[in-house]
Amino acid sequence: MDAEEIDLLAGSLREVFACAAADVPRQLSELGWDDVAAADPAAAATLLFTEKGRALSTATLLDDAVLPLLSVQLPGGPAAGADLLCYPYPGSGTRPSSTPLAATGILLRRPEPDERLLIPVADADGVTLAVAAAGEFTVTPLPSLDPAAGWYAVAGPTPAARYDGSAWAPAVAAAHRALAAEIIGVAERAVELAVEHTSTRRQFNAPIAAFQAVRHRLADAYVAIAAARALLAASFGDGFQSPAVAAAAAAKARAGRAHQTVSASAVQVCGAMGATLEHPLHRYVNAGAVLDGLLGSSAELTVELGAMVRAAVASGGEIPLLVDV
């Protein structure tokens, strides 16, 4: 996909994401997004989720991207799949929070009672998958830093029937890449808001963006995003020497870290105005933070990657370089 094509598609996606969240899948279908994704999956996924992040859309596209990767493992193929994925309750990294006894997790929207949830379970010998109707669980709105997220908490007994969960790791990798792109989109927009504010807000007879302290913070915010974007692009790449799983986790970890850098700088340079409900900045600060909490936060993934590096060296292996010329 060349730059011109990306610009054109980004414009179309902005119109799509301006619609209500529930309408987004239909609009994407009308746009022929499936063809775009088939032609260049990496560029399409990056663009779609970056634009979703920029728009702060709550469309549940992550479910649409991840569920097909898991549902094929169930008897009867995709037709026997689920309507919503039950994401691990934050704090368990990339591991399912559900145990053989108790199912817990997060839904990206409120389910109808007869809609089916796909629940990853941390079983004794690895991850298994369970499917059950939402009506069998307690589903409550999940209070969070981002009131606009619209997420729900799930709790209930873990269904006895469980299926092969070997697709969990690659599905998490796909989700990590999508979330990285979305967090990057959120962060990009936050930098733009900060650039707009500091370029127009005047003090001491100058726009405050003319002051070096402000310029350097914004430059650092830009560099943090550039680093995350480069790592995300590389995580799709064919130059990878190690499992794509680690690369995707690294991309999401770096995106989460970039969002923290951006948030700190943007909030500071937007002054008191940026801390009001009237100014949109807080929405980007909140949205990126809760997305970072999904499927392993930046901090959790960083620990996991550090442990991987230690294990690689301890076993006499190489530290995966993840990208080659």
Chain residues binding other proteins by CB under 8 A are 191, 195, 198-199, 206-207, 209-210, 212, 214-216, 218-220, 222-223, 226-228, 230-231, 233-234, 239, 250, 253-254, 257, 299, 301-307, 309-310, 313-314, 318-319, 321-325
| Strands of the sheet with 152-157, listed across from one edge | 102-107, 152-157, 138-141
Tokens of 115: 């809609």
Query: Which of 52/254 has CB closer to other proteins?
Result: 254
Residue 122 and residue 104 in contact, taking contact as beta carbons nearer than 8 Å: no
Residue 63 and residue 122 in contact, taking contact as beta carbons nearer than 8 Å: no
Query: Which of 34/324 has CB closer to other proteins?
Result: 324
Q: How far apart are the first and last CA of the chain?
A: 20
Closest approach of Cβ 180 to other proteins, in Å? 12
Query: Which of 167/322 has CB closer to other proteins?
Result: 322
Closest approach of Cβ 275 to other proteins, in Å? 22
**What helix, strand, coil percent values describe the chain, rounded to 5?**
55, 15, 30
Nearest CA to 252 out of 263, 244, 240, 242 is that of 244
Closest approach of Cβ 212 to other proteins, in Å? 8
Hey, how many other C-beta atoms are within 10 angstroms of the C-beta on 42?
16
Read off the amino acid at residue 291: L
Closest approach of Cβ 88 to other proteins, in Å? 18
